[in-house]
Amino acid sequence: MQIIRRRYYFWLIKAYFRKWNRTIVSSLILGGIFFFIIVFTLNFYIFPRLQKKVQKIGYAGAYTLETIPRQILQDVSYGLTEINENQSVKPGAAYKWQIKDGGKEYLVYIKKGQYFHDNRELTARNLSLSFKDVEKNIVDDYTVSFKLKKAYAPFLASLSSPILTSKLEGLGDYKLTKVDLNAGFISSTTLVKREDKSVKKIIHFYPSEEALRVAYALGEIDIANGLKSTSILDRNLETFVNTKIKKNVNYKNLVAAFYNNSDKILSNKKVRQALNYAVPAEFAEGERSFSPIPHVSLYFSETPNYGITDPGIAKELLSQEKEAKNTVFEISVLEGYENVAKSLKHAWEEVGIKSKIKIVGNLPQSFQILVYPMNLPEDPDQYTLWHSKGLNNIINYRENKRIDKLLEDGRSTTSFETRKSIYADFQKYLIDDVPASFLYFPYEYQVARS
């Protein structure tokens, strides 16, 4: 019976397919076509549009929670004040301020209706900003007083630090929702837009710029920020499909050739001036600079000898400096700045100065000439760099009392016009004394998929 039943079902199915075979085949073909149309639509139209709401961004560098770059935190929050590119101060979370007691008290008025990501309103009572040696007093719910031990004009710039709670809740358009750490350093962070939680920025940090470029080439990120070069192996990232490159000048970073002022030969002002006049007129790596204050700043002043490069003047100054001509100067340089050092070496050879290049891993304890990038403050105050007692006075610049006085006065007066005049004199005398040759503000590139 079982055999008869099997034969029955076999002939039944066979008869069914014989009658409906065209319909079945057509259905399979149409089903396959529709399947591939759906997959194609999802992969090439739907998913890409959804993915546009998630940006994967890369930076090079090692950062902790305390040292997250300002350009990232500006999405999360902002300060009581904000600093324009020209170094002027404008309102941020505060709508106005008063400076009292000769510049030793700052009375700050907070805008109402500003909320942290946890929906708490910002008031003077939950304002987390605090500063060393500064007394903070709450005047009322929206007014706070900062009392300093002595007048300090850059304090307004200090108030631009992003306002964050202990849980990193901010006031900005994006909320910091996730931080991945590796041995104490941030490997990635996730920012979610406040008004539309489907919009995200996932920010990855890479140990080197080369690793950042490779990550972009492999498709790990959609945007690579802060690149000094757009080349990878023998190919330029510009040749990648749907890639756009944006070129910027970083006016917050200045590459300079620092002269050790305690060196027997470089302590001679004529030798430093000669080296400075012989510096190339241009650098491929950035926008040429001749001053420690960028030309976009309200405090910039074009001094009488600004922008002059002249090998003839350099040779004339060196004509009586036999010791300098018989010396082989050592140019210490960080990795990545070798071409800059080679440009200097070649230019100085043209005026009779011999030199050799030494690659260093970080800021050396001792050097003759050092090619090094320095981060410029938000405020024109450069006390720590050039004052004889400055913490970052790496060149032992200790003999110029005029510079010391100008730097002291520049940070103790709050009058814009007075400060502008002071920093004009500061630039004039510093550039004339040549403790360093200011080379360029570096170009930076953003590489992004369109």
Do 426 and 352 belong to one domain? yes
Mean pLDDT calculated for residue range 181-210 = 93
Task: Label the pairing between strands 243-249 and 436-449.
Answer: antiparallel
Q: CATH number for the domain including 98?
A: 3.90.76.10
Higher pLDDT: 225 or 18? It is 225
Do 423 and 329 belong to one domain? yes
Q: CATH number for the domain including 387?
A: 3.10.105.10
> Does a structural domain hold residue 23?
no
Range of lowest pLDDT (28-32, 36-40, 57-61, 112-116): 36-40
Mean pLDDT calculated for residue range 138-152 = 96
Mean pLDDT calculated for residue range 296-316 = 94
Mean of the per-residue pLDDT values for the chain? 90
> Does a structural domain hold residue 394?
yes
> Does a structural domain hold residue 46?
no
Q: Indicate if the pLDDT at residue 3 is higher than 60.
A: no
Q: Indicate if the pLDDT at residue 308 is higher than 90.
A: yes
CA–CA separation, 102 and 92 (whole Å): 24
> Does a structural domain hold residue 100?
yes
> Does a structural domain hold residue 34?
no
Please list, in sequence order, all residues whose beta carbon lies within 8 angstroms of the beta carbon of residue 280, skipping any fewer than 6 positions away. 309, 343, 344, 347
How many domains in the chain?
3
Residue 110 structural domain: 78-158
Q: Considering 208, 241, 274, which residue would you say is the last residue of a domain?
A: 241
Do 433 and 378 belong to one domain? yes
- Residue 67's SS3 state is helix
Mean pLDDT calculated for residue range 411-435 = 96
Q: Indicate if the pLDDT at residue 287 is higher than 60.
A: yes
Residue 24: per-residue pLDDT: 66
Do 372 and 259 belong to one domain? yes
% of the chain beyond a pLDDT of 70: 90
> Does a structural domain hold residue 437?
yes
Residue 7: per-residue pLDDT: 61
Handedness of CA 326, 327, 328, 329 (dihedral sign): negative
CB neighbour class for 122 (10 Å; exposed up to 12, middle 13-18, buried from 19): buried
Do 414 and 329 belong to one domain? yes
Residue 395: per-residue pLDDT: 85
Residue 65: per-residue pLDDT: 85
Question: Using one digit for the tens of pLDDT, what is the confidence trace for 356-400?
Answer: 999 998 889 899 999 999 999 999 999 999 999 888 888 888 778
Please list, in sequence order, all residues whose beta carbon lies within 8 angstroms of the beta carbon of residue 169, skipping any fewer than 6 positions away. 116, 117, 118, 120, 175
Task: Label the pairing between strands 436-449 and 223-227.
Answer: antiparallel
Q: How confident is the model at residue 140 (pLDDT cuts 50, 70, 90)?
A: very high
Q: Indicate if the pLDDT at residue 67 is higher than 60.
A: yes
% of the chain beyond a pLDDT of 90: 76
Q: Of 251, 439, 250, which Cα lies nearest the Cα of 343?
A: 439
> Does a structural domain hold residue 72?
no
Q: Considering 126, 158, 190, which residue would you say is the last residue of a domain?
A: 158
CA triple 368-374-179, angle to 5 deg = 135
> Does a structural domain hold residue 95?
yes
Q: What is the dihedral of CA 391, 397, 399, 405, to 10 degrees?
A: -50
Residue 15: per-residue pLDDT: 64
Q: Considering 124, 158, 192, which residue would you say is the last residue of a domain?
A: 158
Mean pLDDT calculated for residue range 316-343 = 95
Question: Using one digit for the tens of pLDDT, what is the confidence trace for 226-281?
Answer: 999 999 888 888 888 899 999 999 999 999 999 999 999 999 999 999 999 999 99
Q: Indicate if the pLDDT at residue 54 is higher than 90.
A: yes
Do 335 and 219 belong to one domain? no
Q: Of 253, 291, 261, 251, which Cα lies nearest the Cα of 370?
A: 261
Do 148 and 226 belong to one domain? no
Do 224 and 368 belong to one domain? no
Residue 365: per-residue pLDDT: 86
Residue 68: per-residue pLDDT: 87
Do 293 and 421 belong to one domain? yes
Do 409 and 266 belong to one domain? yes
Residue 346: per-residue pLDDT: 97
Task: Label the pairing between strands 105-110 and 89-91.
Answer: unpaired
Do 337 and 399 belong to one domain? yes
Do 226 and 259 belong to one domain? no
